[in-house]
Structure 1
Amino acid sequence: MTLQNKLSQGDFVVLAEINTPKGVDISDLVTNVRHLKSRIDAVVIPGMDNGVMHMSALAGGAIIRQQGMEPMIHIYGRDRNRMALQGDMLAAHILGVNNLLVVQGEAISHGDHQNAKPVDDLNELELLIMLNTLQRGTDLAGFELKGKPEFFTGCQVQPIRNDDHLEIEFQSAGEKVEAGAQYIMVPPVFDIDGYVQILNKFKSLNVPVIATVYMLKNVGMARYISINDPASKLSEATITRIRKSKDRETECINIAGEMIKELQSQVQGVKISASGWEDRLPAILDCAGL
């Protein structure tokens, strides 16, 4: 059963985020994916995440499909104009990469090619309109396509800073749903009690909500997130729990697994992000009982 069918039926889905390599050696990617086979519903492939050059997400999606698993790739307008984006999406359909997540690409200044020129021809809302246009059988110039692609498309919510920002993101998500977004991906959740209002807000848009579970690696990372991203709602109790543990790595795995368990009654799916520690994903799934 496809990811789209499972979400349509109300099933709880599990996604895992894995980056493509910075190079052509795909051995780690393939190994990590094989260890997740039959345990997750799809592999999410970011597109040059954080503005760092990697093998394209489209190639990564094709590799995931070759491994007998369902891919989901990021699509954004930072690096390509509307012609290139449409061509890539037609290619994605042919390659069996039909799950798309429309995101806001990180600024080039945060990446490793700071002299690169951003394109930003289409914003997130315009990308959703583009995808709907392609699925109706025409391109953005109004010319008829020879064969219509099919996609399962979602949108992403930015980290919520405060109540006013929540309202802005909610209105934006509503516009994206009207433009064709079929599911919503929300930012990393570190504290269910502090995040339930946000989750309920987006669930009111009546499309599946998928929460991100981000694996903390150590006390330093947890402290950095809590200070620099107050929207994360990462509590002092979580930081203390990691600091006092005799095996901090295992504790971080346990925290991620426990978060997944708690989220099963709150949202319709989770995306697990291990940020370079993808070999720990099976342990997180074990802890979550998945």
Structure 2
Amino acid sequence: MDVTLGVWALTVAVLCVLVAVDFLVGRTPHDVSLKEAGIWTAVWVALAVAFGIGLLVVSGGGPAGEFFAGYITEKSLSVDNLFVFVLIMAKFSVPPPYQQRVLMVGVLLALVLRTVFIAAGAAIISTFSWVFYLFGAFLIWTAWKLVQDARKDHGEDEYEENKLLKAVERRFGVADRYHGTKLWVEQGGKRVMTPMLVVMLAIGSTDVLFALDSIPAIYGLTEEPYIVFTANAFALMGLRQLYFLIGGLLKRLVHLSYGLSIILGFIGVKLVLHALHESGVHVPEISIPFSLGFIVLVLAVTTFTSLRASKQQENQAS
């Protein structure tokens, strides 16, 4: 796929406009209704579908299939990330009107970090083809870790601040309450951080860990940096609205981690097979249409079994 500098510039410009629109929508702190979240979620999904159809028309079924496979994978990983966002919001008792501002900053940080990781990944892949072995092994290990975590009892889950965040809090101090959307305030004659800034730093630091999973996963579906970037961008754009839309549903997706582990393990195997093929070993490669169908099927089955299991638990409880 030959993407010119002009196409890159136009794409980035359009995405910047969309980010600005999204920021303006959430500029004034307020409680986000299900109707508002639903409308904007539908808008972002429709834009992603329209972009994929545009790729189909301009570049053919191959790039379009890679985009949709990457978009669905990144979107599903983003839903899993929402679990952590929920824990962070609960940990710092973020007032509902301010949650969308925190999420907006978190999405922007994630987009910037993933852009850096995508560029680095593209440079490494073009120089060292054996990196696919590392990506594949990492995804298989991540899949196994997801299964292990899912088998544990998470009834008392709580977000634990990392060492870097604790060090920043000790260095600058934290105000005893929220001051609207302000990030710094004067307290006791000293300039200190507000809890709002601490929450943003917490989400930003977790974004780095999220990118470590998502970037190798999507490079297992396509080696085209343009598709990797746009799939990640569209998946992240609607994350803020999706948080409010399915916030109550997240706890019912009890099998999501199992589904994601299967998907990541599948992509890890796909990467290893691709690396072997590139090394001259005659092994079968997994096609994009098969990958797309497999990912959709796993997510559909996982969602169905999750909702069914949650309903059975509710019936037993009552």
Q: Same fold (TM over 0.5)?
A: no
TM-score (norm 1): 0.23
Pick 1 or 2: higher relative contact order, CA cutoff 8 A, min separation 6. Answer: 2
Give the strand-richer structure, 1 or 2: 1
Q: Larger C-alpha radius of gyration, 1 or 2?
A: 2
